Amino acid sequence: MLSHKLTYSPFRDETEQCRTAITHIMKNMNTRYHLTLSFTYGVNERKSNELLNLLLKFINRSILKKRYNDGNQFIDGMVIREKTFAKENFHYHILVSDKQKRLPDTESMKKLIEKKIDLVNRRFDPANQISAFLLQEYYRESLEDYLTKVFNKTSISLVEKINSFQPLDHNGANFTLLRS
- Span 32-42, pLDDT tens digits: 999 999 999 98
In 3D space, the residue among 93, 56, 54 whose CA is nearest the CA of residue 75 turns out to be 56
pLDDT on residue 122: 96
Task: Give every strand in the sheet of 77-84, ordered side by side.
Answer: 130-137, 31-39, 89-97, 77-84, 165-167
Decide if pLDDT at 51 tops 60: yes
pLDDT on residue 50: 95
Q: Residue 97 is part of a domain; what is its CATH number?
A: 3.30.70.260
Q: Please, which residues have CB within 8 angstroms of residue 130's CB and are 6 or more apart in sequence? A: 37, 38, 39, 40, 51, 55, 117, 120, 121
- Span 108-165, pLDDT tens digits: 999 999 999 999 999 999 999 999 999 999 887 789 989 999 998 888 888 889 999 9
Confidence category of residue 57, pLDDT binned at 50, 70, 90: very high
pLDDT on residue 126: 93
Indicate whether 60 belongs to any domain.
yes
CB 90 within 8 A of CB 40: no
CB 101 within 8 A of CB 56: no
Element (H, E) at 132: strand 130-137
pLDDT on residue 171: 92
Indicate whether 126 belongs to any domain.
yes
Domain of residue 49 covers 30-167
Indicate whether 1 belongs to any domain.
no
Indicate whether 105 belongs to any domain.
yes
Indicate whether 120 belongs to any domain.
yes
pTM (predicted TM-score):
0.87
pLDDT on residue 170: 92
pLDDT on residue 12: 59
pLDDT on residue 62: 95
Confidence category of residue 177, pLDDT binned at 50, 70, 90: low
Distances in Å between the Cα of 179 and the Cα atoms of 3, 160, 162, 171, 176 are 44, 7, 10, 20, 7
Indicate whether 162 belongs to any domain.
yes
Q: What is the Cα–Cα distance from 65 to 59, expressed in whole angstroms?
A: 9
Q: What is the Cα–Cα distance from 172 to 1, expressed in whole angstroms?
A: 60
Indicate whether 24 belongs to any domain.
no
> In the predicted model, what is the mean pLDDT of residues 57-67?
94
pLDDT on residue 38: 95
Considering its fold, how many domains does the chain have in total? 1
Indicate whether 155 belongs to any domain.
yes
Decide if pLDDT at 73 tops 80: yes
In 3D space, the residue among 155, 166, 174 whose CA is nearest the CA of residue 80 turns out to be 166
Q: What is the Cα–Cα distance from 158 to 97, expressed in whole angstroms?
A: 26
Q: What is the Cα–Cα distance from 51 to 58, expressed in whole angstroms?
A: 11
